[in-house]
Chains A and B, each alone.
Chain A
Amino acid sequence: MLGYLVKRIGSMAVTLLVIITLTFFLMHSIPGSPFNEERATSEAVQKNLESYYHLDEPLYVQYFLYLKSVATFDFGPSIKKSSQTVNEMLGRGFPVSFELGMVTLIVAIFSGILLGIIAALRHNGFIDYLAMTVAVLGISVPNFVMATLLIQQLAVTWEILPVATWTSPKHMILPTLALATGPMAIIARLTRASMLEVLTQDYIRTAKAKGLSPVKIVFKHALKNALLPVVTILGSLAASILTGTFVIEKIFAIPGMGKYFVESINQRDYPVIMGTTIFYSTVLIIMLFLVDLAYGILDPRIKLHKKEGK
């Protein structure tokens, strides 16, 4: 296990390094960016930039110094809002985004798994078709469209929910719904497929031969095995929820990180783009790592395998 951890953390570090490097050099290669010679920014901003990025040093020195500051979680200044640093933006935005993301993830996981199980147990029945049609529709509608439709119907036409912002639990319903639909649909489809697969396994027949009730067979014997594949996609799902927050936060005017990120893209606020990208990547890589660990805990075969492979 320890050997595995070390190896896994090593490869996480490599991926992160690739991202930082990529970001750094891409940003520096843009003609007209504040990192290049022709500078089109204000005096104050220029000073901030120079002190943070060491722009007077050779490029490779800049790169290593940048690595160093990133390693100490210092992402530098903004060039559009001269009084702000990326860290401050993250500090303000992250908790909100995190809340939105987590609530969405939980909603998506629970409703998706439930839908998938029901569909699998009613295989080829009406409920199965209904659930899967809903799921395919969920995958098919872009989340910004979903968000707009929800606002249009529930907030504007029926006026039962607030249109925007993130101030009370009631405000959370629409954004969460809009953001959760896609991931929920993906989970539901995957759960159904893997449940159907598991239900044909020999050990399910063994369980039936013991005289266990269908409920016990499904929840004790089938579910855990069926959920293993679902766990493996949680990482990429987290990624899609995260990018989804850009859209949702902007539409619902939620003061999260995603909103800052989108603004920084629109304004070409390069240091913020850099910092945020790296921060997001770190979060995602950690998510993937946690998913791997969870998988190892859920599937007893994995643990031993890694132990042996040490």
Chain B
Amino acid sequence: MDKVLEVKDLHVSFKTYGGEVKAVRGVTFDLHKGETLAIVGESGCGKSVTSQSIMRLIPEPPGKFDGGAIIYKDNDLTKLKESEMRKIRGSDISMIFQDPMTSLNPTLTIGDQLTEGILQHMKLSSEQAKKVAIDMLDLVGIPSPHVRLKQYPHQFSGGMRQRIVIAMALVCQPEVLIADEPTTALDVTIQAQILELFRDIQKKTGVSIILITHDLGVVAQVADRIAVMYAGKIVETGTRREIFYNPQHPYTKGLLNSVPRLDVDGADLIPIGGTPPDLFSPPAGCPFTARCPYAMEVCDKMYPYKTKLTSSHGVDCWLQDERAQKLLATK
């Protein structure tokens, strides 16, 4: 399959009063053409930082890029000049942020906010740009778009605003769309509509999507592949089927157990106990050790090697070591 985007061993940290937060500690994944890759994980595990790093939107300071590569079309984005990066933002790779209520500028009409991206990246007159914007609003399901174009964000509901934000991200027909928790701030019915919209748009435009969420329900609906993130690392990747039906990492299993499922009896819903480790001084070994029911001595001492179970399924966990398998078998 064609890779459109490759993230290799990404490291990002933040300088704060309390010390240096190592938010992303060696994240590696790739994104294939036309697929939806979901990145899931608890709050604070570094999902947003990862996604904003791809766009180079981490504010520096306090943020700091500590190494790694982000390959897009044979270019390492981390090495581009800011002016070259600007050409990519919004046109090749675009992004949707978590909160539709705050991600639109309250003092500009949405028409203005939609067309400025078009005018920035495409050689179109403002009339043509307006037409593109109207078509886009139509595509995301905003009724009577030519009237709506003249309105301000506060005149729209939350769901509508998220549609507008999506339209804004799509106006320049990007190859990659990064959606950072696009539905978290919305209520459930609207959430479903927005996810539906994502699927529609992907079918129509073939855009590759990185969908960031901590909601496995959302993942189950739209993801082709899933990357599970924990404490600044990706601990397991696989296709949706692999992750949902054959999870290997205890953290993944924990996540799945803490999600209400309709196919299984809802009775034994077990949240993961404990809290993620402090990223000021992340543990040398597996960061899940303190919370992991299977934790072994080795887990505390060394970070596990990556084990490839299939060409698409990989996991960082000592349980994959045969000695651990024996230990499990004797139990």
**Residues of A at under 8 Å CB distance from B?**
201-203, 205-213, 216, 220-221, 224-225, 228, 298-301, 304
Q: Which residue of B lies closest to A203 (CB)?
A: B105
In the complex, which of the residues B86, B97, B121, B154 contacts A206, with contact meaning CB atoms closer than 8 Å? B97
Complexed CA–CA distance, A8 and B117 (Å): 40
B309 contacts chain A at the CB level, 8 A cutoff:
no
Are B106 and A225 interface neighbours, CB within 8 A? Answer: yes
Residues on A with beta carbons closer than 8 Å to the beta carbon of B168? 206, 210
B176 contacts chain A at the CB level, 8 A cutoff:
no
B88 contacts chain A at the CB level, 8 A cutoff:
yes
B215 contacts chain A at the CB level, 8 A cutoff:
no
Complexed CA–CA distance, A201 and B108 (Å): 14
Residues on B with beta carbons closer than 8 Å to the beta carbon of A201? 102
Chain A contact surface mostly? helix
Residues on A with beta carbons closer than 8 Å to the beta carbon of B154? 300-301, 304
In the complex, which of the residues B95, B103, B108, B117 contacts A220, with contact meaning CB atoms closer than 8 Å? B108
With an 8 Å Cβ cutoff, the count of chain B residues facing the other chain is 29
B94 contacts chain A at the CB level, 8 A cutoff:
yes
B256 contacts chain A at the CB level, 8 A cutoff:
no
Contacting residues of chain B (41-83) with chain A, CB-CB under 8 angstroms:
55, 57
The list of the 9 closest CB pairs from A to B, nearest first, reads A211-B89, A211-B90, A210-B90, A202-B102, A210-B117, A203-B105, A300-B152, A209-B95, A202-B103
Residues on B with beta carbons closer than 8 Å to the beta carbon of A220? 108, 116
Are A210 and B106 interface neighbours, CB within 8 A? Answer: no
Q: Which residue of A lies closest to B87 (CB)?
A: A211
Complexed CA–CA distance, A303 and B55 (Å): 36
B256 to chain A, nearest CB (A): 31
Are B57 and A207 interface neighbours, CB within 8 A? Answer: no
Contacting residues of chain B (90-142) with chain A, CB-CB under 8 angstroms:
90-91, 94-95, 97, 99, 102-108, 116-117, 120-121
B165 contacts chain A at the CB level, 8 A cutoff:
yes
Are A211 and B108 interface neighbours, CB within 8 A? Answer: no
Residues on B with beta carbons closer than 8 Å to the beta carbon of A211? 86-91, 117, 120-121
In the complex, which of the residues A206, A212, A213, A225 contacts B107, with contact meaning CB atoms closer than 8 Å? A225
In the complex, which of the residues B89, B99, B102, B108 contacts A208, with contact meaning CB atoms closer than 8 Å? B89
Residues on A with beta carbons closer than 8 Å to the beta carbon of B55? 209
Are A209 and B152 interface neighbours, CB within 8 A? Answer: no
B155 contacts chain A at the CB level, 8 A cutoff:
yes
Complexed CA–CA distance, A228 and B168 (Å): 25
Residues on B with beta carbons closer than 8 Å to the beta carbon of A210? 89-90, 94, 116-117, 120, 168
A153 to chain B, nearest CB (A): 41
A225-B117 contact, Cβ under 8 Å, with A211-B87, A211-B90: no
Residues on A with beta carbons closer than 8 Å to the beta carbon of B97? 202, 205-206, 209
A198 to chain B, nearest CB (A): 10
A304-B155 contact, Cβ under 8 Å, with A211-B89, A211-B117: yes
Are B102 and A213 interface neighbours, CB within 8 A? Answer: no
